[in-house]
Amino acid sequence: MRIGAHLSIAKGLSDAGRQTLAIGGDTFGFHTRNPRGSAARQIGAEEIVAWRAMQQESGIGPLVGHLPYVINLATPKDGIREFGERVVGEDLRRCDAFAAHAIVLHPGHDTEGDRPAAMARIVTHLSAALAAAGAVGTLLLLETMAGQTGEVGATPAEIGALLAGTGRPAGLGVCLDSCHLFSAGYDLTTRAGIDAMLAEMDAAFGLDRVKALHLNDSKFPRGSHKDRHEKLGQGELGRQGIAAVLQHPFLRELPMIIETPVDDYREYAGEIAIARELAG
């Protein structure tokens, strides 16, 4: 099992590495830049050299970043789509410079109620961003969403259609989120429920495309279509649900990032400890 928490790299990659060791993590997640804005911190060669040395010694990884929430490749507003396309391309290159495993993107918001047009716009800009990034080792992962109003990507079929639309490039994959999938309606509390969901995903886009998992409990019940994370074992998935996810032979092999609500990163030590306990 490779598990860690979503941390800040504002003070440098090695700082997030030290935090990871302090909370008992194997890896970490991070925002590729300010999650609600456009400013990108320059991650310089010196920082990367220091981080790679630390990574070599500690074995921390594989790192899974998250793109800003303000990106919406589905919007009819040209400027917003172009901004998103540029950031996705730039951040693939920025994160490839320190050999991040993947960065995660919310597929988009259909604000007009015209799903085919929204999907077509996402496909166009995903393709352009991947082309602009060029040959990078860092994967771009589309996240499975809870299905809040307008949210694209709450069904395997939609994620599959986006992958198919782009011609399934090798650098494009999928990141699962246990909270989102549960609120989208999947029963993650039993092995049978998870198996049924994974069979649907395998048919829609192929399980080999799944490259990471956001491990979160859900504040709201199954099928609520609400995206509100809760601490592990304290939400509607509960200890049974989190245990079912962690003990599943396919899911437990994925790099897992915890994004539960905490006041301070040190609280993630408890979250990671619970995950290790429930993983059996």
Please give the residue ranges that form the binding site for Zn ion (CB under 5 A). 143
Cβ proximity of 179 and 214 under 8 Å: yes
The vertex-202 CA angle with 219 and 100, nearest 5°, equals: 70
Our CB check for Zn ion shows the closer of 103 and 244 to be 103
Our CB check for Zn ion shows the closer of 14 and 27 to be 27
Residue 143 CB, nearest approach to Zn ion (Å): 5
Distance CA 102, CA 111 (A): 27
Strands 217-218, 229-230: pairing kind: antiparallel
Residue 125: which residues within 8 A CB-CB, separation 6 or more?
A: 73, 81, 82, 84, 85, 88
Our CB check for Zn ion shows the closer of 143 and 158 to be 143
Distance CA 144, CA 179 (A): 10
Our CB check for Zn ion shows the closer of 50 and 262 to be 262
Tallying the residues shown for the chain, one arrives at 280
Residue 211 CB, nearest approach to Zn ion (Å): 14
Cβ proximity of 171 and 131 under 8 Å: no
3-state secondary structure of 64: strand
Our CB check for Zn ion shows the closer of 25 and 107 to be 107
Residue 153 CB, nearest approach to Zn ion (Å): 10
Residue 104 CB, nearest approach to Zn ion (Å): 6
Residue 83 CB, nearest approach to Zn ion (Å): 18
Of 56, 57, 53, 59, the residue nearest 28 (C-alpha): 59
Residue 108 CB, nearest approach to Zn ion (Å): 12
Of 118, 171, 154, 163, the residue nearest 226 (C-alpha): 154
Task: Count the Cβ atoms, other than its own, within 10 Å of residue 40.
Answer: 14
Our CB check for Zn ion shows the closer of 143 and 217 to be 143
Q: Which residue is nearest to Zn ion (CB)?
A: 143
Residue 54 CB, nearest approach to Zn ion (Å): 26
Peptide bond into 35 cis (omega under 30): no
Our CB check for Zn ion shows the closer of 146 and 242 to be 146
Distance CA 211, CA 105 (A): 13
Distance CA 228, CA 170 (A): 31
Our CB check for Zn ion shows the closer of 143 and 230 to be 143
Residue 52: which residues within 8 A CB-CB, separation 6 or more?
A: 98, 99
Residue 214 CB, nearest approach to Zn ion (Å): 6
